Structure 1
Amino acid sequence: MTTIGIITERLQEFGTAEQVRSNRVRLKTTPDRVRDAVTLSLVMLGCDRLITISTLDRGTTFELLYHLTGPHRIILSLSVSLPRDRPSSPTVSDLLPPAGIYERQIHDLFGIMFPGHPDLKKIILNEDWPADEYPLRKDWKPRPESFYGGIKTERM
């Protein structure tokens, strides 16, 4: 049987793991360790469901949060901090197929790259959305006279 103590202990090799609630463990790891942490979570810890991948714009960095669970009903949150100037984290879509759609959304809205992803084409934004503009970044502002979803912005 998998317990919260076992999960917390096993994840220590990938970064800082701590129990943050009675049924939740948070692991702070790095992009180069996230695939290993997900693999261990799947194989050894029984986390067989991806709840979601969420993203935070912290101003100077981005944070990816992978939320996993399994039959044990413990929620595991893997936290990965990414530099703002070149945010990138390897894809986990081959390990957790539902991650592929979340990674596409995050790429669309934040510009975070997922090397190894089979197809990071747009999924939310229109195809005519300007390249290198990511609307959920805190520093994003629409450019005057640009088209966003077929609508031209006014001069400011």
Structure 2
Amino acid sequence: MTGPLTLDMVAGKMKEFGNSELVRKNRIRITTTPDKVHDTIKTAQAMLGCDRLITISAVDNTRTLELIYHLTGPHRMVLSIAIELTRDQPAIPTTSDILPPAAIYERQIHDLFGITFTGNTNLNRIMLNEDWPANEFPLRKDWKPGPDTFYGGIKVERT
């Protein structure tokens, strides 16, 4: 699809996955659930021509963690697929099997937010040092450095 995407077009093709809204004149947001992420992306690829992953964003909005997959195509519209996850043990299926570039973003998000991408076999550290304490995710709003803990070889001391 090379013509422009409209909110009505997207809402019609994606209605089974969740609500669609026009965020800006060149951005449409679809809110869906973790169990529908694969089908939502596959439908966006097949029916809307969204064949490129721009990035995956992660947001800590205090009560939940949110993932936003930003896709585009020849139409130059950005389709943002948003999914909310619970804070305690956040997990979602990997999308690297249908969007290979997603693997690197999943590693970064896992490292910094602690979101698990089930099916991704390479969630090794990529952003933080290897000696970073386990289960500490510095981009979560509730994270605080532990007393007398080493972060990247630097000891945090509390006075």
Paired residues of 1:9 and 1:17 also in contact (CA < 8 A): no
Please report how far the alpha carbon of residue 155 of structure 1 lies from its aligned counterpart in structure 2 after TM superposition: 2.8
Match of residue 133, structure 2, among 127, 130, 133: 130
Match of residue 10, structure 1, among 5, 13, 16: 13
Q: Give runs of ≥4 in structure 1 deviating > 6 Å.
A: none
Please report how far the alpha carbon of residue 8 of structure 1 lies from its aligned counterpart in structure 2 after TM superposition: 2.5
TM-score, structure 2 normalization: 0.94
Match of 2:25 in 1: 22
Structure 2 unpaired stretches of 5+: none
Match of 1:64 in 2: 67
Structure 1 distance, partners of 2:119, 2:137, is 21
Q: Does 1:97 align with 2:100?
A: yes
Q: Does 1:37 align with 2:46?
A: no
TM-score, structure 1 normalization: 0.95
Structure 1 distance, partners of 2:68, 2:117, is 14
What's the RMSD between the two structures over aligned residues? Answer: 1.1
- Deviations 1:92-116 (CA, angstroms, capped at 9, x unpaired): 0111111111010000000001001
- Deviations 1:1-38 (CA, angstroms, capped at 9, x unpaired): 45323223111110111223222211000000011101
SS at match of 2:56: strand
Match of residue 150, structure 2, among 124, 147, 152: 147
SS at match of 2:84: strand
In the alignment of these two chains, the number of paired residues is: 156
Percent identical residues: 60
Paired residues of 1:146 and 1:153 also in contact (CA < 8 A): yes
Match of 1:51 in 2: 54
SS at match of 1:44: helix
Paired residues of 2:11 and 2:19 also in contact (CA < 8 A): no
Paired residues of 1:8 and 1:25 also in contact (CA < 8 A): no
